[in-house]
C-alpha cells in the first residue's frame, strides 16, 4: 500500500543467499528466545531483528513452530558436530562419549532447555510432541551402537538393549535435573558433573568379566561410527528444516 516501500522484490536471490538469510533469521530467533523465552518472542520481533519482512520468514517456514524446530535442529547439529570434533582426542569409549555429550549439553542453553523441558525458556513448546525431542532424534542410532558394543563384549550382556538405553537415559536425565534443582553452592561444576555422569553411566553398563582383547579398538571404531551417523542424521534433519532437501518419508 505505502508507495515508499524501501525495496520490494528484486534480485532473484540464488540458493546461497537464501540459505544465508535463513541462518540470519535463526540467529535472530536464538538471540530473542534466550532473552525473552519462546512464548514472548514474536515472529515480528524476529523479522525486525533479522532485517527482513515478516512475510519473508513464511517463505522459509510454514509456521512459527517449524521455525523453532529448525532452530533446535541447528543447535543439535552444532552440538553433535562439536562432539565429533573433540572425540578424536579421546579414547573413543562410552565413558568418553557420555562425558562429551554431557559437557556439550550443559553448555548449550537451548539444547539443554529442550532436553529438560525447561518451560522457563521454551514455554508452550515444551508441552508439545515429545517424540521429536533430542532424545528421540538421536536415539534410534544409539540403540544399535550399544548393541554393537555388547556383541563385542565391551558391555555387560545381562541387560536387554532396551534396558541399556533406559539406564543411560535415566542416568543422563537424573544428573542434569538434579543438578538443576540443587542450590548453586552445592552444585558441582559443569566439568565435574559431566565426569560424574559419564562415570555412573559407563559403570552401569560395564561388562562383568575382563574385556576381550581388541574390544577397545572395536569399541572406539563403533563409537566413531555412531557419532558420524548421528552427525549425518542431524544434518539431514536440519536440511529438511531449511528446505535444502526434501523430506523422505
Partner DNA sequence: GAATGACCGGATAAGAACATACGGTCAAAC
Partner DNA sequence: GTTTGACCGTATGTTCTTATCCGGTCATTC
Q: How far is the CB of 28 from a copy of itself (least distance, A)?
A: 32
40-48, 91-99, 176-184, 217-225 -> range binding a copy of itself (CB under 8 A) = 176-184
Of 24, 31, 49, 53, the residue at the interface with DNA (CB under 7 A) is 53
Q: What share of the chain is helix, strand, coil (3-state, %, to 5)?
A: 70, 0, 30
Q: At what angle do helices 109-116 and 134-151 cross, to 10 degrees?
A: 80
Closer residue to DNA (CB): 53 or 220: 53
Choice between 36 and 148, CB closer to DNA: 36
Say which residue the cell 525486525 belongs to. 48
- Scanning residues 57 to 76, which ones bind DNA (CB under 7 A)? 58-59, 62-65
Q: Is 141 exposed, middle or buried (0-12, 13-18, 19+ CB in 10 A)?
A: middle
Under rule CB under 8 A, residue 203 binds a copy of itself: yes
177 binds, among a copy of itself, DNA, none (CB under 5 to 8 A by kind): a copy of itself
Q: Tell me how far CA of residue 22 lies from CA of 19, 84, 244, in angstroms.
A: 5, 25, 11
Q: Which stretch binds a copy of itself (CB under 8 A): 22-30, 107-115, 171-179, 235-243?
A: 171-179
Per CB under 7 A, 1 contacts DNA: yes
Tell me which stretch binds DNA (CB under 7 A): 36-44, 173-181, 183-191, 219-227. Answer: 36-44
Q: Would you count residue 124 as binding a copy of itself (CB under 8 A)?
A: no
| Cα 150 from chain centre | 25
Exposure of 20 by Cβ count < 10 A (0-12 exposed, 13-18 middle, 19+ buried)?
exposed
Residues 123-152 touching DNA, rule: CB under 7 A, are none
Cβ closer to a copy of itself: 97 or 242?
97
Q: What is the dihedral of CA 179, 206, 89, 81, to 10 degrees?
A: -60
Cβ-contact 198, 96 below 8 angstroms: yes
- In the list DNA, a copy of itself, none, the entry touching 127 (Cβ below 5 to 8 angstroms by class) is none
Cell, residue 135: 532424545
- 173 in contact with a copy of itself (CB under 8 A): yes
Dihedral sign computed on CA atoms, order 35, 110, 49, 27: positive
CA atoms within 13 A on the CB side of 185: 0
Chain positions contacting DNA, by CB under 7 A: 1-13, 17-18, 40-44, 52-56, 58-59, 62-65
Chain positions contacting a copy of itself, by CB under 8 A: 130, 159, 162-163, 166-167, 169-175, 177-179, 181-182, 186, 188, 192, 196-197, 199-200, 203-204, 206
Amino acid at each position: 500500500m505505502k508507495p515508499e516501500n524501501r525495496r520490494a522484490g528484486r534480485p532473484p536471490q540464488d540458493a546461497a543467499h537464501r540459505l544465508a538469510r535463513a541462518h540470519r533469521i535463526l540467529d535472530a530467533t536464538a538471540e530473542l528466545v534466550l532473552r525473552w523465552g519462546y512464548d514472548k518472542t514474536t515472529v515480528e520481533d524476529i523479522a525486525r531483528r533479522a532485517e527482513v519482512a515478516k512475510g519473508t520468514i513464511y517463505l522459509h517456514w510454514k509456521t512459527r513452530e517449524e521455525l523453532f524446530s529448525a532452530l533446535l535442529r541447528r543447535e543439535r547439529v552444532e552440538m553433535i558436530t562439536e562432539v565429533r570434533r573433540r572425540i578424536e582426542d579421546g579414547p573413543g569409549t562410552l565413558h568418553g562419549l557420555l562425558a562429551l555429550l554431557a559437557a556439550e549439553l550443559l553448555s548449550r542453553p537451548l539444547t539443554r532447555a529442550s532436553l529438560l523441558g525447561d518451560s522457563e525458556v521454551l514455554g508452550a513448546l515444551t508441552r508439545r510432541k515429545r517424540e521429536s525431542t533430542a532424545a528421540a532424534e538421536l536415539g534410534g542410532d544409539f540403540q544399535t551402537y550399544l548393541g554393537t558394543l555388547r556383541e563385542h563384549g565391551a558391555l555387560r550382556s545381562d541387560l536387554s538393549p532396551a534396558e541399556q538405553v533406559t539406564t543411560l537415559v535415566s542416568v543422563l536425565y537424573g544428573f542434569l535435573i538434579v543438578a538443576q534443582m540443587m542450590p548453586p553452592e552445592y552444585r558441582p561444576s559443569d566439568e565435574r558433573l559431566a565426569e560424574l555422569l559419564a562415570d555412573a553411566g559407563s559403570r552401569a553398563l560395564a561388562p562383568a568379566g575382563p574385556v576381550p582383547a581388541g574390544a577397545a579398538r572395536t569399541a572406539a571404531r563403533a563409537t566413531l561410527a555412531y557419532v558420524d551417523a548421528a552427525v549425518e542424521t542431524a544434518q539431514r534433519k536440519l536440511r529438511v528444516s531449511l528446505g535444502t532437501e526434501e523430506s523422505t518419508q
